[in-house]
Amino acid sequence: MIRRTTVREALESSPLGSPVTIPGWVRSNRASSGVAFLAVNDGSTFGNLQVVLDRSLFDEATIASASVGTCVEVAGTLVESSGAGQSREVKASGLRILGPCDQSYPLQPKRHGMEFLRTIPHLRPRTNTFSAVFRMRHRLAMSIHEFFDSRGFFYVHPPLVTSSDCEGAGETFQVTTLPLDGVPLKDGEVDYSRDFFRRRAYLTVSAQLEAEPLALALGGVYTFGPIFRAEPSDTRVHAAEFWMIEPEAAFMDLDDDIALIEAFVKHMAGTVRDRCGEEIEFLTKFVEPGLPGRYASLLDSGFARVTYTEAARILRDAGTGRAAPLEWGQKPSSEQERFLAEEVFARPVFVTDYPASFKPFYMRLNDDGRTVACTDLLAPGVGEIVGGSQREERRDVLESRASQQGLDPAIYGWYFDLRRWGSAPHSGFGLGFERMLMYLSGMKNIRDVLPFPRTFGSMA
RNA sequence: UCCCCGGUAGCUCAAUCGGCAGAGCGGGUGGCUGUUAACCACUAGGUUCGAGGUUCAAGUCCUCGCCGGGGAGCCA
């Protein structure tokens, strides 16, 4: 075991004058006749550690061998830097090559295109941009657990293999051990009784249906795990495998749900802003200049709230404006959603009470009989980031809406049972983890916030 | 799935109306007394995505294919 000092410790906390041993990867190697400088990064923090090599102590070949990408272990003393770019540096007494790196190494100390970096997912975490994104990803994930834990929500783990396709949430990947070149048939149909689970099985497209029974026992719960969707959506915001947060809580109505969403989004943004300052600074400079404005819009004011019906009126009255009018009963287009968030309200806005006609059966029917108690949170620059609703707790209403939408009661029997015995008002929402990370990092393609993205037609 | 755009050196990109295929970075060699994606000089490096076609002449125009990107729909 190497007893090491991290770059983060060396830059922030280790006492000056102390001897240190620091392993890391060379980001740049600048040699002049009397002295050579290595920029060493170990991923523990955004910044590099400057290592100073006196050329009277190190020969030409040793210095040259520490080329960009090489894994080195530097021994030396932590000292105050006389240069302008950093306050501390290491005066080296030893340099060991742990992992040599020849000139075929694809990463250079220069800007690369995202498309090229996607072809080397195993190396791109060594770039400034991707190491920043993945540290931010960690911080965001941790902030989710902090938030719900502090509010008494329990972290639950619904199955990834399910029997239902969660109505309308998307195309499923089927899970089977049946041989594809000789599927067993019975009466001309596939004989699923001979499949692994003795029935059809899918990868989950949403954990919500399984979260509800847990919420109706534990009170407040949340899930945070992978979701799989087989939709052939070839866009910058869709992945076949992504992560979703789905809180669900008993005794919570739509107003409570909306308050929870707002507090949650603010907590995530606030934590990342507080803890990822260097990452945000870098990403603002090289990826998305509008990043500070995004944090401000999330953190510095309350979110707006309108009903779908009011939004349709606004879009109609805006008339000659950028977005087309919305006829009541139609789904808003992404252009209309962006118009509301960016121009009408200029901050995140909750749109509530959509028509029941294009929403799933489990959303609670309002007293008007034509809208449901749901909300989408629309953010400037991206559109929808959260979708939630109060769930239909009345057994008769739920069953009639399910049958209207043509669902098989046999599959959803247990879901109806929740309303049969001890039903309770409850609500929840879903938030796409990568979409949130894209918003907070400024990355423009979902493939660039996932370490190894799986998207339609591509598994690099 | 539909629509649009693109593919030139290892990488990032130029190349006028169809007329000798270039630069920066990276690599190699040499230089420089503290550099900040160091700098200076020299140098090597090309099946212009592939297959056809038009033309005296194609990176450039046409057809097909492959790959990549963006948008729409759908969603998270």
A332 CA to B74 C1', in Å?
A: 12
Rounded CA–C1' distance between A5 and B44, in angstroms: 41
User: What is the C-alpha separation between A137 and A149, in angstroms, rounded?
Assistant: 19
Identify the pLDDT of residue A451.
92
A395-401 average pLDDT score: 94
CA of A40 to C1' of B30 (A): 27
Judged by DSSP in three states, A407 sits in coil
Give nearest nucleotide to A227 (CA–C1'): B76
Beta bridge partners, A25, equal A41, A71
Residue A437 has a pLDDT of 94
CB A359 within 8 A of CB A405: no
Q: How many residues can be counted in chain A?
A: 460
How far does the CA of A129 sit from the C1' of B41, in Å? 34
Nucleotide nearest to A240 (CA to C1'): B76
Q: What is the ipTM of this complex?
A: 0.90
* Stretch among A77-86, A245-254, A404-413 having the lowest mean pLDDT: A404-413
Predicted confidence (pLDDT) per residue in A144-186, tens digit: 999 999 999 999 999 999 887 655 567 888 899 999 888 999 9
Q: Which residue has the tokens 């009170």?
A: A219
Q: Between the CA of A101 and the C1' of B26, what is the distance in angstroms?
A: 14
Residue A337's nearest nucleotide, by CA–C1', is B75
d(CA A316, C1' B21) / Å: 56
Query: What is the CA A332 to C1' B64 distance in angstroms?
Result: 40
Burial class of residue A409 in the structure, from the number of CB atoms within 10 Å of its CB (0-12 exposed, 13-18 middle, 19+ buried):
exposed
Q: Which of A6-15, A36-45, A107-116, A214-223 has the lowest mean pLDDT?
A: A107-116
Span CA (A240) to C1' (B48), Å: 35
**Three-class DSSP category at A275:** helix
Task: Give me A85's structure tokens.
Answer: 């770019």
Domain ranges of chain A: 7-99, 124-448
Beta partners for A19? A77
| Nearest of A244, A170, A164 to residue A209 by alpha carbon | A164
Which nucleotide is the nearest neighbour of A82, by CA and C1'?
Answer: B34
* Protein residue closest via CA to C1' of B36: A85
For residue A328, the one-letter residue type is W
Phi, psi of A313, rounded to the nearest 5 degrees? -65, -45
Token readout for A234 is 């070839």
Beta-bridge partner residues of A31: A36
Distance A105 CA to B66 C1' (A): 27
Average pLDDT of chain A is 91
As given in the structure block, the two tokens for residue A456 are 């339609």
In strand B, the nucleotides that come within 7 Å of a protein beta carbon are 1-2, 10-13, 24-28, 31-39, 68-76
> Which CA-bearing residue is nearest the C1' of B11?
A112
Give this prediction's pTM: 0.94
**Which residue's entry shows tokens 């949430």?**
A169
Task: Give the CA A410 to C1' B39 distance in Å.
Answer: 75
Residue A339: per-residue pLDDT: 86
Closest residue to B71 by CA to C1' distance?
Answer: A235
Lowest mean pLDDT among A278-282, A310-314, A364-368: A310-314
Q: Looking up tokens 């799989």, which residue turns up?
A: A228
Give the pLDDT mean for A40-56: 94
- Is residue A351 pLDDT above 60, yes or no? yes
pLDDT > 90 in chain A, percent: 70
CA A67 from chain centre, in angstroms, equals 34
Shortest-distance nucleotide from A32 CA to C1' = B32
Q: What is the largest CA-CA distance in chain A?
A: 86
In whole angstroms, what is the distance from residue A172 CA to residue A162 CA? 10
Q: What residues have CB less than 8 Å from A277, skipping those under 6 apart?
A: none
Q: Are A37 and A52 in contact (CB under 8 A)?
A: yes
Q: What is the DSSP string of A17-65?
A: T-EEEEEEEEEEEEE-SSEEEEEEE-SSSSSPEEEEEETTTS-HHHHHH
Q: Report the pLDDT value the prediction gives residue A411, as an integer from 0 to 100.
A: 79
Q: Nearest nt (C1') to A37 (CA)?
A: B35
The nucleotide lying nearest A127 (C-alpha to C1') is B37
Distance in Å, residue A110 CA to nucleotide B11 C1': 9
Helices (H) and strands (E) in chain A, counts: 13, 18
- pLDDT on residue A292: 93
Q: pLDDT for A94-130, tens place per residue?
A: 999 999 998 889 998 888 989 899 989 999 999 999 9
At the top level of CATH, the class of A124-448 is alpha beta
pLDDT interval class at A320 (50, 70, 90): low
Q: Which pLDDT does position A107 carry in this prediction?
A: 92
Q: Which nucleotide is nearest to A232 (CA to C1')?
A: B1
Instruction: Report CA(A28)–C1'(B15) in Å, whole number.
Output: 32
- Which nucleotide is nearest to A105 if distance is taken from CA to C1'? B10
**CATH code for residues A7-99:** 2.40.50.140
Closest CA relative to residue A37, chosen from A24, A26, A45: A26
pLDDT of residue A154: 98
Sign of CA dihedral A269, A275, A281, A287: negative
Distance in Å from B1's C1' to A59's CA comes to 61
CB atoms within 10 A of CB A245: 23
* Closest residue (CA to C1') to nucleotide B1 in the complex: A232
Closest nucleotide C1' to the C-alpha of A386: B76
Asked if A88 and A12 count as a contact pair (C-beta separation under 8 A), the reply is no
